[in-house]
Chain A
Amino acid sequence: MADINEYPEALRDVMEMFEDIDEHGRAEILLDYSSRFQEVPSYIAQRPFPEDHRVQRCESEAYVFTEPNADDGVNFYFAVENPQGVSAKALAAILQESLMGEKAETIKAIPHDIVFRLFGKRISMGKGEGLLGMVALLKYFADLTQKEQKSE
Chain B
Amino acid sequence: MSNSGYAHPDALVSTEWVAQHLNDPAVRIVESNEDPLLYASGHIPGAIQIDWVTDLNDQIRRDYLDRKSFESLLSKHGISNNTKVIFYGDKNNWWACYAFWVFQLFGHANAAIMNGGRLKWVEEQRPLTKEVPHYPTSTYHAQERSDYKIRAFRDQVLSHVNGHLPLIDVRSPGEFKGELTHMPDYPQEGALRAGHIPGAKSIPWSKAVQPDGTFKLPDDLKALYEQDNGFAPSQNIITYCRIGERSAHTWFVLTYLLGYPTVRNYDGSWTEWGNSVGVPIEK
Contacts and interface: CB of A to CB of B under 8 A. Distances in A.
Contacts of B181: 56
Given A125-B190, A126-B242, A129-B190, A84 B183 contact: no
Nearest to B184: A140
Contacts of A31: 37, 40-41
Contact of A136 (B35, B40, B51, B185): B185
A136 B187 contact: yes
A5 interface: no
A129 B40 contact: no
B185 A59 contact: no
Interface in B27-64: 34-38, 40-41, 51-54
B55 to A, nearest CB: 10
B271 interface: yes
Among B35, B122, B183, B242, max chain A CB count under 10 A is at: B35
Contacts of B122: 83-84
Given A31-B41, A84-B118, A84-B119, A122 B36 contact: yes
A75 interface: no
A86 B130 CA distance: 15
A60 B185 CA distance: 20
Contacts of A112: 185
Given A125-B243, A129-B190, A84 B38 contact: yes
A125 B34 CA distance: 10
Contacts of B52: 124
Interface residues of A, number: 34
Contacts of A120: 36
Given A84-B119, A122-B51, A126-B243, A90 B37 contact: yes
Nearest to A88: B35
B187 A84 contact: no
Contacts of B131: none
B186 interface: yes
A24 B36 CA distance: 11
B90 interface: yes
A27 B40 contact: yes
Among A24, A85, A125, A128, max chain B CB count under 10 A is at: A125
A93 interface: no
Nearest to B172: A57
Given A86-B37, A119-B36, A140 B187 contact: no
Nearest to B91: A59
Given A84-B118, A84-B119, A122-B51, A133 B187 contact: yes
Contacts of A117: none
A83 B119 contact: yes
B189 interface: yes
Among B183, B185, B242, B245, max chain A CB count under 10 A is at: B185
A139 to B, nearest CB: 7
B114 to A, nearest CB: 15
Interface in B228-256: 242-243, 245
A122 B95 CA distance: 14
Interface of A: 24, 27-28, 30-31, 34, 56-57, 59-60, 83-87, 90, 112, 119-129, 132-133, 136-137, 139-140
Given A84-B119, A87-B36, 9 more contacts: A28-B40, A83-B122, A84-B118, A87-B37, A112-B185, A123-B53, A127-B36, A133-B187, A140-B186
19 contacts: A30-B37, A31-B40, A34-B37, A34-B41, A59-B34, A83-B122, A84-B90, A85-B35, A87-B37, A119-B36, A122-B36, A124-B34, A124-B52, A127-B34, A127-B35, A127-B36, A129-B187, A133-B186, A136-B186
